[in-house]
Amino acid sequence: MTAKQADHLRGWIEAQGGRIREQIRQGGSSGARVLAITSGKGGVGKTTLAVNLALDLVLKGERVILLDADLGLANVNILLGIEPRHTLWDVVEGSRGLADIVEPGPYGLKLVPGASGLAALARLDPPTLDALVSGFRELDRACDWLIADTGAGIAPGVLAFSLAADAVLVVTQPEPTALTDAYGLIKALWAEGYTGAVQLVVNRVRNERQGLEVAGRLKELARRALGVEVTPVGVVRDDPAVHHALMRQAAFIDHQPPGPAAQDIHRLGDQLLGRARPAGGGGIRGFMARMFDRYRALAAEDVPSSGEGG
């Protein structure tokens, strides 16, 4: 970062008053609910579910921001046919405000494009990071939910988003490989002392019964082996409409009449809306502050595999 950029951010933090990080840590501020959508194994349907679930919530009257946090292969924008003009990096550089990088999606959904260069962001000095985090205040006021679509696996640049979220929605498929990796991810959250909600969605199931059976097994294993309470929140059936929608760069929940996967997403949305609001998460600012802290700690612990972490 250049001296000019650093000055810009320092000016910003002075304007914000400085004490924000402390307020966030104490959980004093309210704001959006933050849900991280993640998986152990890649390609299980995280991005597909994140986009369609976000739209389902919007259609139910919620104000939703979808954060493309898959730093390696950001592709929420591809699924929605949106070409983002700016990223979080432009905000750090001072050329854009946060409000400028938000892209409008269907029905009023808001998209925040991937924060590529997370490692570089996490290396910023604490006052500069505080300034960046405090800037999320405006987004907190503008939304009820932040849904973060993350990458797969347990590298620091992935795990940090989950560890910082109010709730983690683990996506798996019924195959043993996907289940083993889902368990590995839950174990990694547990090992890092994650205390938020762990929710489970089994995607691409043949029928509801298969999904519930698989979810039950994983729940039982996590409870027995780790003492972690996993909450199955839904199953999504395998549905060719998902692929057809992808080819049109459209959401499958828009398809008329709604296919099995769309019906399942509607149920999942209702399920999430019915859950209690987590207390003291500090909204998006709390999430971002924790995410940077977690990322730094994990990257320091895990030098060989951390790389850029995105």
Ligand X SMILES: Nc1ncnc2c1ncn2[C@@H]1O[C@H](COP(=O)(O)OP(=O)(O)OP(=O)(O)O)[C@@H](O)[C@H]1O
Residues that bind ligand X (CB under 6 A): 39, 42-48, 70, 73, 152, 203-204, 236, 238-239, 242-243, 246, 261
Could you tell me which stretch among 38-46, 57-65, 204-212, 262-270 binds Mg ion (CB under 5 A)? 38-46
The residue sitting closest to Mg ion, measured at its beta carbon, is 47
The answer to whether 43 is annotated as binding is yes
Residue 158 annotated as binding site: no
3-state SS, residue 274: coil
What is the bridge-based pairing of β-strands 197-205 and 167-172? parallel
What distance in Å separates the CA atoms of residue 103 and residue 65, rounded to the nearest whole number?
Answer: 10
Our measurement of the distance from residue 52's CA atom to the centroid of its chain's CA atoms, rounded to an integer in Å, reads: 14
Residue at token pair 């080819």: 247
Gap between the Cα atoms of 235 and 258, Å rounded: 16
Q: How far is the CB of 274 from Mg ion (least distance, A)?
A: 26
x-or-dash string of contact with Mg ion, 212-251, rule CB under 5 A: ----------------------------------------
Nearer to Mg ion, 41 or 290 (CB): 41
Taking the complex as a whole, the smallest distance from the CB of residue 222 to ligand X amounts, in Å, to 20
Distance between CA atoms of residues 117 and 126, nearest Å: 17
Which of 235, 227, 231, 224 has its CA nearest to residue 261?
Answer: 235
The minimum distance between CB 70 and ligand X, in angstroms, equals: 5
Identity of the residue, 47 or 128, whose beta carbon is nearer to ligand X in the bound complex: 47
44 binds, among Mg ion, ligand X, none (CB under 5 to 8 A by kind): ligand X
On whether 193 is known to bind a ligand per the annotation, the reply is no
As measured in angstroms, the least distance from the Cβ of 103 to Mg ion is: 17
* Residue 39 binding: pick among ligand X, Mg ion, none (C-beta 5-8 Å cut-off by kind): ligand X
- Specify the residue, 31 or 309, whose C-beta has the smaller distance to ligand X: 309
**Is 4 annotated as a binding-site member?**
no
2 marked ligand binding residue:
no
Residue 204's region, left for phi above 0, alpha for psi from -120 to 50, else beta, is: left
- Strands, sheet with 145-152, edge to edge from the N-terminal-most edge strand: 103-104, 110-112, 64-69, 145-152, 33-39, 167-172, 197-205, 230-237
Per-residue contact track with Mg ion, 45 to 84, x per CB under 5 A?
Answer: -xx-------------------------------------
Other beta carbons within 10 angstroms of residue 300's beta carbon come to 11
Distance of alpha carbon 268 from alpha carbon 253, whole angstroms: 12
47 marked ligand binding residue: yes
The CA distance from 301 to 309, in Å, is: 13
45 is in an annotated binding site: yes
Binding residues for ATP: 41-48
Binding residues: 41-48
Residues that bind Mg ion (CB under 5 A): 46-47
